[in-house]
Each structure stands twice: as structure tokens, then as C-alpha cells.
Amino acid sequence: MTDHAPRIVHTETPQGPCAQLRGRWGAAELGVAAQWAAVSGQLSSHPAAPALGWDLRELQWLDHVGAQLLWNHWQHAWPQQLACTEGQRAILSRVAEFTAPAPPPEPWRLGEQIDHLGVMVLHGVDHGRHLLQMVGQLALDIGRLARAPRRGPWRDVSGHLYRMGATSLPITALVGFLIGVVLAYLMSLQLRQFGAESFIVNILGISLIRELGPMLAAILVAGRSGSSITAQIGVMRVTEELDAMRVMGIPHGFRLVMPRTLALAIAMPLISVWTTLAALAGGMLAADLVMDISPAYFVQALPAAVQVGNLGLAMAKSVVFGALIALIGCHWGLRVKPNTQSLGEGTTASVVSSITMVIIVDAVFAVAFKNIGI
């Protein structure tokens, strides 16, 4: 440590403990990251207390940066024991004079909280109204496509099918495979205690085919493709392409919302089946390694353990998941304002809303189909 480095030396005096400052406490020295970290650590070990004295007379240099640092550490109050020169006291007094006190915390008011809740409810109603308009417009656009299929944006649909479906197969297969391995391993620890190893086929089959496979695929697609939809449309808002489309008479719903919704509604069941097969393969491998259940027995017992209706229910849920993910992504993309901050906020909100929607809709399907015996 050089002689000019800012530092604190703890000394004992007849009046009690004292923090003696040495070196140069200026902007040039405190601007160095290493010295700033060292001084911050030394200050934290010398908290402002009435019994602790402060001696600034050995300082080689003190400017307003060092004085502000000390004044903030003293919590905007003069220490009871302070030894300094007249020039140092003048600098500290000037810093104390121009340091604005922290504003007092706002008192809690019931009226403001009710008003804030009302604003949030109105925002939610506005989002719900916009989503309802998008669903209605989507129904009209599908009717228009059915009347004149040759004029439909099929090239956009096929492009979105590839980008949202085919390119997501590797990551969904990897995650599904690992989930299947983990589930089989954890179940084997419990089933082995009761000698019920063969029931792992039933547990893995019903949980993966009916619930975990579609929901896991939907969550991955929501984070991957939902954010992509919002970002694409949001960038079009920032670059004023949406305004140009409106000027040219190109409807946003027919060329932006409908192709993405149709593509994701078609791709989502296929991705769900693909993810479920990968998860079953991982569970089959783990069951063979951990519980000596051969893949042949697993494949033979799976159709008897899981009814075909579960697969139909999973694919039906996946169609709803895909359509809602696309609609939510388009909703947040169309509401992006022409600035980059709104684009980031919209993308984040799109992912969070899509994942929340997937979980809620999956719970609704589970309760509804349980009550009707499926």
C-alpha cells in the first residue's frame, strides 16, 4: 500500500477508540476500483457510533468526493469526537449544507391502495377486451380463408410452421428425455420399497402422456416461440412497418395474427407427441438401468396402462395451448410502443403471461375432464 492510498488506521486514545484517516481522499484516488473497495470495507468495519472518534488531521488531501463519502457514512450527522483542520471542517460543512436529506416515506393510505387496485383492474379489463377482439377477428379471418383458400397466406403459415415447429424439436426432445430419466429414477426409489416396480409403466405413462408431456412442450414453446412472436411484431411497431401495412390496407389480423395462430395450433400437438415420446424413451432407459424393467415389457405394458383417450385429450389441450400462446404473443406485440424499452417489457410480459396461461388452462382441463370421467 502506497503512502497516498486512502486508508483508515484504528488507534486507541485516552478518550477511546479512534479512526484515523490517512492518505489522499480525493476523486482521483477513490475513483480506482481497488482503492474504493478497500476504503468501503474499512468504513464498514468502523460504523458511525458515539464512542468512536474520527481524526482527519493526518490526511494529505481531502476534496468534496471524500468529504461526501464521510458525510454519508456518518449518516448526515456530525460525530461527537471529530479532530480536523479548519479547511477540512469547511469542506465538510459545505457538503453538509448542500446534501439534501432523504425524503420521508410516504404514509400508507387506503384510498391510494384502492385507486392503485382500480387502475390494475382497468388495465386487466383493457387487455381482456383486446384479446377478445383478436379472437373475434381471428374467427372472421378463418371464415374469410375458408371462403377463398387460394388467397390465404399459406407461405407465411408454412414458414411459421418450420420456425416454431421443426426448429424446436431438438430442445423439446432433450428436455423431455431428461425429464423422463429424472421421473423414472425418483419413482424407482419409492416403488422399490413396496416391490411395485412394474407400476412405473402406469405412472410414467399417465403422467407423461396426459399431463407433463403437453404442458412441458407448451412451456418450452411459450418461452421460445411466444417471445419470438412478440419480438417480431414489436420490431415491426418500432420500425413503423405496422403503420405502413395499415396505410396500404393490409389487415394485421389476416397477415400477422392468423398465420401464427394456425401454425402454432397445428405444430403444438405434434411437438407435444414428440416431447412425450422423448420423455417415455428417457423413462424407459432409466427403468431398464435402475429397475431391470426391459424396454420390451415397457412397450408391451404401456397400451394397457394408458387409454387412448388420454392421448386424444393431450392433443386437444395442445391445440388450445398453441392457439393461446400465439394470440398472447401477438397481443403483446401489437401493444408495443415505438421504443426499445417497451419492446423488452412486452417480450417479458408475453412469456410470463403465456406460461401462466398454460398452467391455468391445464388445470381447467384436468378438473373438467375428471368430472366427466375421462
Give the Å distances, CA to CA, from 297 to 81, 275, 293: 83, 21, 7
pLDDT tens, residue by residue, 323-335: 999 999 999 999 9
Write down all domains in the chain, each with its CATH number in brackets: 7-98 (3.30.750), 153-371 (no CATH)
Cell 403437453 maps to which residue? Answer: 214
Q: What gap in Å lies between CA 306 and CA 324, rounded to an integer?
A: 27
Question: Average of pLDDT values for 341-370?
Answer: 90
- Stated pTM of the model: 0.70
pLDDT tens, residue by residue, 178-208: 999 999 888 887 887 777 777 888 888 888 9
What is the secondary structure of 183-242 as a DSSP string? HHHHHHHHHGGGT-GGGHHHHHHHIIIIIIHHHHHHHHHIIIIIHHHHHHHHHHHHTTHH
Q: Report the amino acid identity of residue 351.
A: V
338 φ, ψ (degrees, to nearest 5): -75, 60
Q: What gap in Å lies between CA 168 and CA 220, rounded to an integer?
A: 9
pLDDT at 130 over 70: yes
Contact assessment for residue 333 and residue 134, using Cβ atoms and an 8 Å cutoff: no
